[in-house]
Structure 1
Amino acid sequence: MSTHTAIATTELGKIDAIQVPTEAPGEGEVLLKVEYSSMIAFDTYLADLGYTISNYPGILGFNASGTVARLGADVNDLAVGDRVTAFSFLSSRSKGMQEYSVQPRVVCSKIPDSLSLEEAVTIPDNLITAFYTLFNQLGLPVPACFPAATTPSDASIPILIYGAGSTAGQYSIQLLHAAGYKKILATASPKHHAFLRSLGATDTFDYNSPGLTSDIAKAVGGSGKVPLSVDCISTDTTLDTLAKVISPTGKVAFLLPFKKGNTLTAKHVDEMKMEPPKDNGPFAKTTKLIGVRTFRFLEDTFLKENLMTKIVPSLLENGVIKPNRVLLLDQGTFKERVEQGLDLLRNNKVSGEKIVVKVRDDDGRELP
């Protein structure tokens, strides 16, 4: 069996370039020749904390883009050579930080010629997170098409995206705008405000402003309380802030895990929690708190059959979704590029961009 290069955590706190078997795709799978993989905070949890690692080595990379190298049985809507992006969140054989990756068809999206592979790899994890959060976890109705042909009955309901400068926040705003919602509130650093408004945010707020809660209340009007919110940061500090602006009968969706302090990157496993606070913490007892586990989106039959295979390609083909801005790492060896990305994430040196790693060195191996 031929092999290829992958970047994996080989023991707690260590990553390395390793050789792994290049597997053939099974039924309902494709073999992806990976060109780019993007990095998220979760990669640091695997590498630094051993989080979710049951056996070493554990390959990194929760997103991949490239071309279809081989098709498994019963994959009839893709062809060898098609350009795709994949949500590579399953086992090591399906992770993105390797030269070849086996992906279930249901996590792959064909991309239009107008989109580069570097841009495409910023899309899967956080666009899926945003879609799943809004239209499954918060229960907003899924439009028949994007942009929505009809205005939703609750189009004027205020919806707050906290941490909207994040990649997931950017996609949440775009989806809400395309679905026809007219009151999209966004908190972020001021440097992101103009960009977020260009994506569809109607009101932007500096989350460090001492007048944040009163500013949000003024924008909401009426009771001054927000009925729906997505917390893209999910830390101790965001809990306390959101509790001041959310309606007692509202819903808040938190992108898990919760982290201690006020940063996206946890330093210890015990700093992360996968459930909302018991007894609702600082929120009213009647407020519904939802912990979002994006990796479960395939448990929803509609999303499994349609989201990556049909909806995402349509959003991209029609230009409804703009990809995240790219921070491309293409210098040095494959391992050095990944190490640089991990360092950027650990030290919170990235804001409003997605770290994209060029996977193949110039001598990247081809299939025999």
Structure 2
Amino acid sequence: MSTIPSKHLAVGLTSPTSGVVAFEVPTPQPGRDEVLVRVNWASVSFFELWQTDFKLLVDYPQPLGITIAGEVVQVGENVDVAVGDKVISFGMTSKQERAFQEYALISKHKIGKLPANVLPHEAVSVPDNFVTTYWALFGNLKLPVPSELPAKSSPPEAATPILVWGAGGSTGQYALQVLRLAGYTNVIAVASSHHHEYLRSLGAATTLDYRAKNISEQVLEAAGNPVKYVFDTIADEQYSLQHIAKFVGAGSQVAYLLPVRVGATGAVQGIKQQPDIPFPDGVELIGVKTAIYHLLNEKFKEEIQPKILPKLLAAGLIKPNRVREITGNSLAERVNTALSLLRKGEVSGERLVVKVSE
């Protein structure tokens, strides 16, 4: 194991006008419940794009990145991993746990061992969106929390239609897989038609094309009634929420990922915290705040990343997203290239990943 430096390279924002650049940060020492990880791979998400373009939750200097695959290099005394372990992690509440840097300091509750049967650059596509899915379905929509996955018995509303909008995206793909493992058999997936065959293999019972002019009518026909549970992984006022408002009714719950987008994929004009779309009376709108799931549910904090996710990956019950490695001469170049692809709407059905260090 190489010597741990006192400072290391990070990539992020240093001022409102800096753009995404490299800068040095101090290398922290792990506390009792913390782990220092040498970051090998990171995935690039829309959250980094919103931070870059709209300065969402930025505190300069701000390292970017929220999902890590790497190797443990130093540990606190009260952790369940050891130096040399390969691990994965999702975290976005502190600068020190961010992914686009050579070393990250991570709480033991936000880390899981990487199973030997999963490649690190594929595994890094999983943690953020798996946690988001689990929190949205069982924390926000309050579907019964399975005692284990796969569930040994069917949940009470196993055949109730559950709709995932944006099912072809990273979060949507995990939503289909988790719902299938939890025993739900009537999942409606709304996505581009070229993803439909793959989405059915992940657990979708019905697949619909979001570009259909009568998409709301198609959903109502497939569901038979207003849809009770909706998970909107896109959260765009014009391209998802205005359609969803037409096929829900009193008693429906709509969980949507924050922030809400204004403008289509490839032409996002801004973001906000809640939609201005009118919904029928009696519809509950729930903004999904995955960043603080560990502060809101102790059981989820203790189990999702350290226990549930590694077990499902090891058993092959959760498939990582298809990934595309973005190359370049430096981490800053690789990150900027990936952000440009997301900004222009040139990513569909796959996850962009970058190598951070060897």
Distance 1:251 1:116 in 2: 37
Using the TM superposition, give the Cα deviation of residue 20 of structure 1 relative to its aligned residue in structure 2, in angstroms.
1.6
- C-alpha contact 2:11 2:332 (8 A) present in aligned 1: yes
- Find the counterpart in structure 1 of residue 235 from structure 2: 234
Question: 2:51 is matched with which residue: 46, 50, 68?
Answer: 46
Question: 1:246 is matched with which residue: 248, 272, 276?
Answer: 248
Using the TM superposition, give the Cα deviation of residue 264 of structure 1 relative to its aligned residue in structure 2, in angstroms.
7.3
| One-letter code aligned to 1:16 | V
3-state secondary structure, aligned to 2:250: strand
- Find the counterpart in structure 2 of residue 102 from structure 1: 105
Deviations 1:43-87 (A, max 9, x none): 122223322113x21101111111111101211x21111111110
- Find the counterpart in structure 1 of residue 76 from structure 2: 72
Question: Which residues of 2 match residues 24-173 of structure 1 at below 5 A?
Answer: 24-54=29-59, 56-75=60-79, 77-173=80-176
3-state secondary structure, aligned to 1:248: coil
- Find the counterpart in structure 1 of residue 343 from structure 2: 346
Question: 1:190 is matched with which residue: 190, 193, 200?
Answer: 193
Alignment RMSD (CA, Å):
1.4
- Find the counterpart in structure 1 of residue 285 from structure 2: 289
Distance 2:326 2:150 in 1: 33
Deviations 1:238-293 (A, max 9, x none): 121001111322111011111112237744xxx3221354xxx4211211111111
| Identity over aligned pairs, percent | 39
- Find the counterpart in structure 1 of residue 274 from structure 2: 275
Q: Residue 265 and residue 40 in structure 1: after superposition, are their counterparts in 2 closer, same or farther (change >3 A)?
A: farther
Task: Kindly indicate whether residue 179 of structure 2 is the aligned counterpart of residue 176 of structure 1.
Answer: yes
Question: 1:307 is matched with which residue: 301, 304, 327?
Answer: 304
Q: Residue 352 and residue 9 in structure 1: after superposition, are their counterparts in 2 closer, same or farther (change >3 A)?
A: same
- C-alpha contact 2:237 2:275 (8 A) present in aligned 1: no
- C-alpha contact 2:328 2:334 (8 A) present in aligned 1: yes
3-state secondary structure, aligned to 1:351: coil
| One-letter code aligned to 2:67 | N
| One-letter code aligned to 2:319 | K
Task: Kindly indicate whether residue 318 of structure 2 is the aligned counterpart of residue 316 of structure 1.
Answer: no
Number of paired residues? 351
- C-alpha contact 1:328 1:356 (8 A) present in aligned 2: yes
Q: Residue 3 and residue 265 in structure 1: after superposition, are their counterparts in 2 closer, same or farther (change >3 A)?
A: farther
Question: Which residues of 2 match residues 255-266 of structure 1 at below 5 A?
Answer: 255-263=257-265, 266=268
Task: Kindly indicate whether residue 7 of structure 2 is the aligned counterpart of residue 10 of structure 1.
Answer: no
Instruction: Return the TM-score normalized by structure 2.
Output: 0.95
- C-alpha contact 2:187 2:204 (8 A) present in aligned 1: yes
- C-alpha contact 1:173 1:201 (8 A) present in aligned 2: yes
- Find the counterpart in structure 1 of residue 219 from structure 2: 216
- C-alpha contact 1:257 1:272 (8 A) present in aligned 2: yes
Q: Residue 265 and residue 175 in structure 1: after superposition, are their counterparts in 2 closer, same or farther (change >3 A)?
A: farther
Instruction: Return the TM-score normalized by structure 1.
Output: 0.92
Distance 1:60 1:273 in 2: 20
Using the TM superposition, give the Cα deviation of residue 136 of structure 1 relative to its aligned residue in structure 2, in angstroms.
0.8
Unaligned runs of 5+ in 1: none
Distance 2:137 2:353 in 1: 26
| One-letter code aligned to 1:273 | K
Using the TM superposition, give the Cα deviation of residue 233 of structure 1 relative to its aligned residue in structure 2, in angstroms.
0.8
Question: 1:325 is matched with which residue: 315, 319, 322?
Answer: 322
